[in-house]
Structure 1
């Protein structure tokens, strides 16, 4: 049995902060199991959050300076985590933070320089998991489906509700996955305009009513009608979604309620289109799985044929960090970790760049 002790790092589009998960991943004859042994979440300071949010507007040289500085910061946080928890670590696997994602232009960029990270932490580091797939004419996303297949294959569908919603499932022996559309990104945008970090449990949204005009505008977004493979990033949100939200004159509760109904409607459409039975399971993780009102609306729109399954809180919060730890382990073994059936690339690949500390 092969055993990898890896720290997975994840920073998502919702800008909640940095998730660190120390994972023990074991593989025996093609079967994988995991233990999330230690975790830590680091909330971004207001300054860091603004820098990450606005990094898409930086000039190239300014972006690269930030790329290096952020890599060093990631390494320092990881080293502190290792020392505080007295961890024995084989490697770090870092997603970085996506600043640019334009697969149609052959471009994706996740800041957090792997060499700076490795040097600061003093540990072998695997990162830049998306570029190789883009070079193979893929979307470079989503990446989590390899974990869905190897760790959570007993569920019919795996749904992640981070800043963006994405889904994965098996179809005719292949793993299919793609970005559905919005999730926490729109909810956090609405609350943060009013100085509130987020709507805990969806309590504010629960007190609102649906704005039919805003709902229609969101549902009419072109992206929803595109075939998969497909993916979106923060640029799409700023360009297509923010104007709809900001031009809608309504209460915060109504904006939140409308957004949740929109998110759930789009998820339900995709699940129903790809249904496998009248007794199927939808495994939900990501920050959205902590939004009680969203889960209620989602179950209502799915109906009785699909059961929403929510795991323990640790897995909800650290699933993506866990999967990047898995991707790092697979890369170190030169095993496939990015699926062309998901991304549309020419072929499956073992993606990620390995950096040794100096």
Structure 2
């Protein structure tokens, strides 16, 4: 008889380097429907060593990167085992790890999320599922976004789901298929700018509120070629370094925060308006940026729903746990309509 109840832990490390998100979830399958309950969750802040190592990994030599891949796998395993012990987790079918993205160049057929699953297993002695993106890239897809499978099966009551993380991405239903794509950078820029003022992030957008929008820079940002491309499409740190980093060097930091917050709001609201989204669920750290949310609301008629704290902060870790459950059953967990790959498929290496 097919098992109907699954317990899984999802691990997520985003480009904004907030820390390691760990989410322990119970999933229940009832006929074709899935329900979930978050049993416990936590964020393990990165030490300065890990924050700098992950941030600079894109510049590492091959040997340094190979070592970091293993070391980070051991780190993930140790932190997950701490979480298991702290929360007295007994029922657990699998641990699903997104890893941390270092390279993402699907046009060249490669993407790299470090954190070797075998190292995680060595510290936890559990079934590990990892490397969820590579297969999709091999199949001609963007390897992103992957969370639409969770939006489709766990959050279908909303017209669209919008994540405001390092990058903003959206998933929505069109002509019976769920499409998804990256919209624009958000916290990967805002957090970096805030750090220049001694802050980890722009709390409530209060720093941006004091700045003045640079209209010339805003116009330049809005005209970037990516925004005129059709979906599916995805962004990575390489794109940011190539297209944005050199533009935001010398101006007053508060003005840059104001300008980029406006830019993000313009691109997000433009997407909501273009697809005539009636209601949207917003998650990710950017959901706490009240200045950004105010600007989005002012530019669209879409009904904005800010989820409860656990979903805001752990939705991606939750969905990777869910993807692990689907992978364990060899059920498709990546939607070709979202990534552009040749077919829906069940992705992830099982260790």
Same fold (TM over 0.5): yes
Residue 350, structure 1, aligned to residue 339, structure 2: no
Counterpart for residue 66 of structure 2: 64
Matched residue SS, 1:324: helix
Counterpart for residue 287 of structure 1: 285
Matched residue SS, 1:323: helix
Structure 1 vs Structure 2 CA RMSD: 1.0
CA distance in 2, matches of 1:58, 1:199: 29
Matched residue SS, 2:262: helix
CA distance in 2, matches of 1:36, 1:212: 44
Counterpart for residue 337 of structure 2: 341
Matched residue SS, 1:158: strand
Query: 1:241-297, CA deviations, whole angstroms, 9 ceiling, x for partnerless residues?
Result: 1111114x22x2221111111001001111111115xxx101100000011111111
Kindly state the Cα deviation for residue 208 of structure 1 after the two structures are TM-superposed. Answer: 2.0
Structure 1 residue corresponding to 2:322, chosen from 322, 326, 350: 326
Counterpart for residue 95 of structure 2: 92
Verify the 8 A CA contact 1:217 1:244 in the aligned structure 2: no
CA distance in 1, matches of 2:255, 2:196: 14
Counterpart for residue 255 of structure 2: 254
User: TM-score, normalised to structure 2's length?
Assistant: 0.97
CA distance in 1, matches of 2:208, 2:69: 36
Structure 1 residue corresponding to 2:203, chosen from 200, 213, 234: 200
Kindly state the Cα deviation for residue 188 of structure 1 after the two structures are TM-superposed. Answer: 0.7
Residue 108, structure 1, aligned to residue 111, structure 2: yes
User: TM-score, normalised to structure 1's length?
Assistant: 0.95
Equivalenced residue count is 348
CA distance in 2, matches of 1:193, 1:219: 24
Moved segments of 4+, more than 4 Å:
none
CA distance in 1, matches of 2:143, 2:346: 12
Matched residue SS, 1:282: strand
Verify the 8 A CA contact 1:96 1:112 in the aligned structure 2: yes
Matched residue SS, 1:246: coil
Residue 310, structure 1, aligned to residue 313, structure 2: no
Structure 2 residue corresponding to 1:172, chosen from 175, 184, 191: 175
